[in-house]
């Protein structure tokens, strides 16, 4: 961090000394992401000043990397001409992201300064369901025809290639705009001018429908080692492309969402330090309340067995251990299954394989823990055979139930269309707690009468 602060000081000095030429040189060499992080530490007034010194394309790329509050402040202070210049440099998918996050009056101003065509495209993309391939695609791609020669293709690329988000992969369509294949820029460059696209293209092209879920789209990049994927409508007509940088963001966002759900937090896109205390409270409170109130059941069970506990107070001492071990065993299974489902290593159809495997692991783990625990109770705690037996056999049963519940609930959730991530530690723990206590008291009844 110290390095950035020195650098920042230099910039502040230059601003004060109005040495704009040196300043321009100093900041024009920075990457858009680093530049956005740097600008984030400055006052709005200075951001605008620095922003005006940047080359147009770098300015637009940096703009995309800023958070929405900064973007909004910048747009508000842009002249109409500046706004138009930034808009001209932006890719459609980034425009859509910005439009989605800005308040109505800012959106109105953005659209007013966009071309008729851009406006139309943005409106089309906005119509796709949230989290669909259509909503994250861009329409700036190159499509080639199969009867073109390589020379003709290169001529077309030179004409429109600069405005496309990527031309590393070009898609081949027929006269109805149906996707029929793809050809990489590498193949184009390495081939003779007189070859036709038809001869060189690969017809085995992987595409997604506009309505495909973005998480599935992201997974396909990993599975098939792609850097761009074409998006087609229901008639297999090419309507857009999704590039891997957007898929990467989807992957990171969806993983964060899974992890937050697993920890009983309502997911949100805002980075931690940008969230207000109230935001955080709101995302955590409902779950804590629900789980606290569900714990009423465990309380009721304990109250019902008050007499047993009064006679054998020592039984109370092992309740936390039983519940924690149950919770941990269950969450190991549930988290493993949830991750397997989201990596598509597991499907609902595998449920019997999973249950069989988890049962074996459960019995093995339960026995290990029960034996260690029994020895500890007999030799260290010296609580006598009966208590040791009660606690250890409850432990065995708890671990088996925890692993069975923990592995089956996420799969069932997936099957009925819920997010499996909800079925993680907190939820499983609450269920396992109650079941484990019931067995604790039943076994106590059997052993001690």
Span 401-430, contacts to its own copies by CB under 8 A: 425-426, 429-430
Among 49, 106, 111, 157, binds its own copies (CB under 8 A): 157
Angle at 61 between CA 59 and CA 66, to 5 degrees: 90
| Chain center to CA of 354 | 25
Pick the binder of its own copies from 3, 116, 273, 416 (CB under 8 A).
273
Q: Which of 350, 351, 419, 448 forms a contact with its own copies (CB under 8 A)?
A: 350
The residue within the footprint of its own copies, chosen from 178, 196, 209, 255 (CB under 8 A), is: 255
- Number of C-beta neighbours around residue 111 at 10 A: 15
**Shortest separation between residue 434's beta carbon and its own copies, angstroms:** 9
Site for its own copies in 31-90 (CB under 8 A): 31-33
Distances (CA, A) of 323 to 254, 330, 400, 401, 442: 31, 10, 13, 12, 16
Stretch that binds its own copies, among 101-109, 175-183, 369-377, 441-449 (CB under 8 A): 369-377
**Total number of residues binding its own copies (CB under 8 A)?**
116
Of 181, 230, 240, 340, the one binding its own copies (CB under 8 A) is 340
Here the tokens at position 443 are 């076994």
The residues facing 241 across adjacent strands are 138, 230
**Nearer CB in complex with its own copies: 118/392:** 392
Which one of residues 15, 244, 438, 442 is an interface residue with its own copies (CB under 8 A)? Answer: 244
Pick out residues in 127-156 that bind its own copies (CB under 8 A).
154
In the complex, the smallest distance separating the C-beta of residue 35 from its own copies, rounded to whole angstroms, is 11
> CA–CA separation, 190 vs 176, rounded Å?
29
The interface region with its own copies, picked from 38-46, 83-91, 232-240, 371-379 by CB under 8 A, is 371-379
Which tokens is 110 given? 């953005």
Tell whether residue 442 is a contact of its own copies (CB under 8 A): no
Q: What is the DSSP letter of 193?
A: T
* Residues 94-113 interacting with its own copies (rule: CB under 8 A): none
The partner residues of 229 in beta bridges, in order of sequence, read: 242
Half-sphere exposure of 115 (CA within 13 A, CB side): 9
The minimum distance between CB 69 and its own copies, in angstroms, equals: 16
Q: How far is 166 from 79, CA to CA, in rounded Å?
A: 30
Helices 385-415 and 319-342, axial angle in degrees (round to 10): 20
Q: Among residues 83 and 361, whose Cβ is nearest to its own copies?
A: 361
Tell me how far apart the alpha carbons of residues 6 and 251 are, in angstroms, rounded to a whole number. Answer: 34
């Amino acid at each position: 961090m110290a390095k950035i602060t020195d650098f920042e000081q230099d910039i502040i000095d230059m601003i004060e000394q109005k040495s704009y030429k040196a300043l321009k040189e100093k900041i024009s060499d920075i990457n858009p992401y680093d530049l956005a992080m740097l600008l984030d530490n400055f006052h709005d007034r200075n951001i605008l000043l620095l922003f005006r010194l940047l080359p147009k394309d770098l300015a637009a790329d940096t703009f995309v990397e800023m958070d929405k509050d900064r973007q909004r402040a910048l747009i508000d202070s842009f002249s109409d001409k500046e706004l138009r210049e930034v808009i001209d440099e932006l890719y459609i998918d980034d425009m859509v992201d910005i439009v989605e996050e800005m308040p109505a009056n800012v959106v109105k101003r953005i659209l007013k300064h966009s071309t008729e065509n851009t406006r139309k495209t943005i409106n089309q993309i906005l119509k796709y369901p949230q989290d669909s391939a259509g909503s994250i695609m861009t329409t700036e791609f190159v499509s080639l025809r199969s009867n073109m020669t390589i020379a003709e293709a290169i001529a077309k690329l030179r004409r429109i290639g600069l405005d496309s988000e990527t031309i590393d992969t070009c898609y081949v369509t027929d006269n109805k705009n149906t996707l029929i294949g793809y050809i990489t820029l590498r193949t184009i460059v390495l081939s003779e001018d007189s070859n036709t696209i038809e001869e060189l293209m690969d017809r085995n092209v992987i595409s997604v429908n506009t309505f495909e879920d973005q998480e599935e789209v992201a997974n396909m990049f990993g599975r098939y080692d792609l850097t761009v994927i074409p998006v087609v409508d229901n008639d297999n007509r090419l309507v857009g492309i999704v590039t891997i940088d957007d898929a990467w963001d989807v992957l990171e966002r969806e993983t964060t969402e899974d992890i937050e759900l697993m920890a009983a937090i309502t997911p949100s896109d805002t980075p931690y330090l940008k969230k207000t205390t109230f935001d955080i409270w709101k995302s955590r409170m409902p779950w804590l309340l629900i789980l606290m109130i569900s714990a009423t059941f465990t309380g009721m069970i304990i109250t019902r067995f008050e007499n047993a506990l009064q006679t054998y107070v020592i039984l109370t001492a092992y309740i936390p251990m039983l519940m924690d071990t149950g919770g941990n065993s269950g969450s190991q299974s549930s988290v493993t299954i949830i991750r397997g489902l989201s990596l598509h290593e597991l499907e609902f159809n595998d449920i019997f394989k999973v249950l069989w495997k988890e049962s074996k692991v459960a019995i093995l783990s339960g026995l290990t823990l029960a034996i260690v625990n029994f020895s500890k109770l007999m030799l260290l705690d010296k609580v006598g055979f009966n208590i040791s037996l009660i606690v250890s056999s409850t432990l065995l049963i708890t671990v088996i139930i925890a692993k069975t519940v923990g592995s089956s609930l996420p799969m069932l959730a997936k099957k009925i269309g819920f997010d499996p991530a909800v079925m993680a530690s907190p939820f499983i723990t609450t269920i396992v707690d109650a079941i484990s206590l019931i067995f604790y008291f039943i076994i106590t009844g059997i052993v001690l009468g």
